[in-house]
Amino acid sequence: MSYPEKALMEKQVTGWATLDKDARHTLIAAIGGWMFDAFDVMLLALLAAPIMKDLGFTPAKLALVFSVQLGASAMGGIVMGTLADYIGRKKALMINILVYALSTGAVLFANSLTTLLVLRFLTGLGLGGEWALSMTLISERIPAGFRGRAVALGNAGWPLGTLLAAVFAFYLYPALGWRATFALAAFPALFVLWIRQYVPESELWLATRKTGQRQKTQNQVSLLEIFSKKYVRYTLLVFLAILCTMFSYWMFWTWLPTYLVNTRGFTLSKSSLWMIITQIGALAGYMVNGLAQDKLGRRFAMSLFSIGEAVMIGIFLALVTNAAYVYIIVLLLGFFTGYWASYGSIVTETFPTRIRATAAGVTYNCARAINLFGPVIVSSIAAATSWNMALAMPAVAATLAGLLIWTLPETKGRDLSAID
């Protein structure tokens, strides 16, 4: 297909109904992969109490499990992103899902701290690569005019996965116990069969493999190229923006339940309704963010939602005095976490095909690794001053993310083949 024909076809893509079959299958694979990623992460968090009771763990021991999983996620994201630039997006995605699905199901056999640490390390390796692979697949297959909304749909897999984990924890666990619940949680491995059959490999990646450019660079380590003189500025700026967003998100949401219970005297954090309202708000936020990306630009959407989240955090800290306010404000707090939908477009549209997955994996997961210190910073500030002061820090981080994004180029409508 000639470039004018391709450009004309892309202009005709205005929504889901106008996507071709391959594009729809690609988008479903991205949504499903990210959804099952969130499902695995949240299931362990939701079933932490019965696991600790049954295995005789202290909270400190389970905290070690979470830390190992997070550290492995950072490692896995870099490894899987680089792997995808060598063997293809589709193959890497299939390997990724199999690793985290099967190791999650194997928690059935956990009978000691060592066993659980090994299993969650393997799970983390798979979980870490999912975001970069899903966003890269979307960016390379979905036409530019719908790409922002497609990326938002892909990111919406996270709240969907959280809701799925809640269903397993609140309905299957009481009937079957935590071991059987984890065994059934291996079912995403079956999704790989569907991907193998229906999801095409990225045409951009295949084209790059066939060109002389790929042969010239095949002996180079793509991991190093993102730090070359040509790309290092973009790599660092994307990393810093994601780092600020992660600090904002995890510093606030990790400690919010504790703040409500200890400072405000609420028990809302213990109910499933809390999670449902938050995720409904997030789903709406992702969709609106995606629309804003395609209509107003990537940077504007990211800045609007980041600064909006900062404002909502400030309103929350100043005005929450009863449960009714909490429900309303939490809905809006969840809504503005739609800022995550912007990064999939910004990262994947900034770097060329040969290093796209690597750049996404490295920037996202290096930020994730450093984010280990976020919750510690909040608890330290709270101990030295107050919880209100500590939870104001995420608002500062969100504001910085909203400003940093303007140091990157606008990528709305960019033809990805033009930057290869």
What is the tens place of the pLDDT at every residue in 348-359? 889 988 888 888
Out of 1.10.540.10, 3.40.109.10, 1.10.579.10, 1.20.1250.20, select the CATH number for domain 20-198. Answer: 1.20.1250.20
Sign of CA dihedral 396, 364, 31, 13: positive
Other residues' Cβ atoms within 10 Å of the Cβ of residue 322 = 10
CA 176 to chain centre: 30
Instruction: Convert 167-192 to b/e letters by CB count within 10 Å (16 or more is b).
Output: ebbeebbeeeebbebbbebbebbebb
Residue 94 tokens read as 């299939």
Of 76 and 258, the one with more pLDDT: 76
pLDDT in tens, 59-97: 778 778 887 887 888 888 888 888 888 899 999 999 999
User: What one-character DSSP code corresponds to residue 385?
Assistant: S
pLDDT at 382 over 90: no
Of 271 and 373, the one with more pLDDT: 373
Q: Which residues contact 120 (CB under 8 A, 6 or more apart)?
A: 44, 65, 66, 68, 69, 72, 103, 107
pLDDT in tens, 212-222: 454 554 445 46
Residue 379: band (very low, low, confident or very high) from pLDDT cuts 50, 70, 90? confident
Instruction: Taking residues 243-272, report their average pLDDT.
Output: 72
Other residues' Cβ atoms within 10 Å of the Cβ of residue 8 = 11
- In the three-class reduction of DSSP (H, G, I as helix; E, B as strand; rest coil), residue 390 is classed as helix
Return the closest-CA partner of residue 221 out of 92, 355, 402.
355
Q: Does domain 224-409 have CATH number 1.10.357.10?
A: no
pLDDT at 204 over 90: no
Residue 403 tokens read as 């400003």
What was the pLDDT predicted at 86?
A: 86
Q: What angle do CA 71, 347, 143 make, to 5 degrees?
A: 130
Percentage of residues in the chain having pLDDT higher than 70: 87
What was the pLDDT predicted at 5?
A: 38
Domain(s) of CATH 1.20.1250.20: residues in the chain: 20-198, 224-409
Q: Which residues contact 367 (CB under 8 A, 6 or more apart)?
A: 239, 242, 243, 246
What was the pLDDT predicted at 240?
A: 95
pLDDT at 9 over 50: no
Most confident of 162-176, 297-311, 372-386: 297-311
